A and B are shown apart, each in its own frame.
Chain A
Amino acid sequence: MGTAHQASQDDGVTVRLACQGDELAWEALVRAYQTPVFRLAYLLLGGADEAEDVTQETFIRAYRSLERFDTTRPLRPWLFKIASNLASNQRRSIGRQLAALRRLFQPERSSIEFPVEVQGEQRQQAEELWRAVRALRVADQQIIYLRYFLGLSVEEIADAMGLIQGTVKSRLHRALERLRNVIDKDFPALRDWNDGRTNV
């Protein structure tokens, strides 16, 4: 919390400089947040090209709205909110439908390949868990990505999703319950792992 607060204060200064036309400050902000934003877009959309488009648009829109940004708040959830909205639009767009058609002729994206250093059963289970997450509805996926893949606090998720923290906690809980149900139903290999009988 203290670190996040410090980051928020630092961002506030940089944001104000960027608002005043300091291009270097703006570049610094982009560099600081481009990876988490790109990763969120990638998780939500499943394609590097689409994620790149959304990330680029996220920063363009963010800059245009930068003056309205509350510099007492952390920047990352605000960027995630923009990116999530853009990704949601992208999913509904014709381009996205065409991209989905293209993927029919390409390898299944949910069978993503984990790095070689993740060995054997651990690797297989990670891939299975990933597939299980992908089987959830988008809203559940989003909250899981924000919390466990991108490491946001409940407070930051509340900021990013425009919810109160209590709602975030309950949604998170329900998302995990549904994930557990998916695992029980479709990923039997993970059941034992999930029971703690296999360690990653």
Chain B
Amino acid sequence: MDERTFEILETRLRDTARHFPYPATPDFSRVEAIRRVARRQGRPRVQWRITWVAASILIILLLAVMATPTVRAAVLEFIQIGVVRIFQTAPTPLPESPVTATPLPAVTGTPSPTYTPRPIPVDVISILDLQGRTTLEEARVKVGFPIRLPSYPSDLGSPDQVILQDHDGSVLILVWTLPDSQDKARLSLHTIEPGSWTIEKVKPRFLQETTVNGRTAIWAVGPYIVRLLNGDLDIRRLIEGNVLIWTEHGITYRLETDLPLAEAVRIAESLK
């Protein structure tokens, strides 16, 4: 097709288009569906975007915050690490300790949903009062988990006392006593099998998050009340030492010592 024919055809098409009898265009700006889409998705869309951004930031912050045990404790009222539950505030009114040199402050708080308040005196017992004395060899036969011992400090040696308690789950307590006192612990290590026991610590004076072998651990500074719960069985003790709590392979470890945190972590990471 030559250029002239091309131009003529274009001209004719434009002429035809100019006179083309289109139907009258409805006023779509007044059509409810089109107006509605702007109303529903216009402002709300901007608001939704803001809401989504705000919600996302909030969720991220919440997750970040809740990932921190100490903060989680503030929100949830307790920290759960292994079988140990640590309350920042006492779940029930607790009596004053008759023996503590540093009296616990009067504590009140929201009762634990799983606990029925009962007037039970705080039971402070010495190492010698612990039930379930055994030997390391016997314990190795009885427990269903490997018994690990600290290899630090190098002079620590074998535990002076081995106590095995079983309440639908073994609790192995290894105690290293002071050289001059067989009823005072230099170091104790609880190895707690998952079971029906829940150990609650009530209002430690100081709580710090740390790690043991890269896993989250909690460093609690006493004095504080330890409460052991197993169904209706409720045992409370006053603990004056510092405790490092962590879990490995489903086993909860609880290292009690008067050493500083760094030393406690070093001991914990030396378990073999």
Contacts and interface: CB of A to CB of B under 8 A. Distances in A.
A196 B17 CA distance: 18
A115 B42 contact: no
B5 A194 contact: yes
Q: How extensive is the interface on chain A, given as a class?
A: 35 or more
Interface in B15-49: 15-17, 19-23, 25-29, 31, 33-35, 37-39, 41-46
A52 to B, nearest CB: 6
B42 A22 contact: yes
Contacts of B17: 148-151
Q: How extensive is the interface on chain B, given as a class?
A: 35 or more
A34 B28 contact: yes
Interface string A36-56: 001100100000100110011
Interface in A16-31: 18-23, 26-28, 30-31
Interface in B140-173: none
B101 interface: no
Contacts of B41: 63-64
B8 interface: yes
B25 A34 contact: yes
Given A27-B35, A63-B37, A38 B25 contact: yes
Contact of B29 (A34, A150, A176): A34
Contact of B34 (A21, A60, A113): A60
A176 B21 contact: no
Contact of B15 (A19, A112, A200): A200
Contacts of A125: 12
A67 B46 CA distance: 10
Contacts of A64: 37, 41
A93 interface: no
B1 interface: yes
B5 A30 contact: no
A18 B42 contact: yes
A144 B1 CA distance: 17
A173 B41 CA distance: 42
B29 A30 contact: yes
A10 interface: no
B225 to A, nearest CB: 58
Given A42-B23, A56-B34, 5 more contacts: A18-B38, A19-B45, A21-B43, A59-B34, A130-B16
Interface of B: 1, 4-6, 8-10, 12-17, 19-23, 25-29, 31, 33-35, 37-39, 41-46
21 contacts: A18-B38, A23-B38, A23-B39, A27-B29, A31-B28, A34-B29, A35-B25, A38-B22, A39-B22, A48-B23, A59-B28, A64-B41, A113-B21, A118-B19, A126-B19, A148-B13, A151-B17, A176-B1, A177-B1, A193-B12, A194-B12
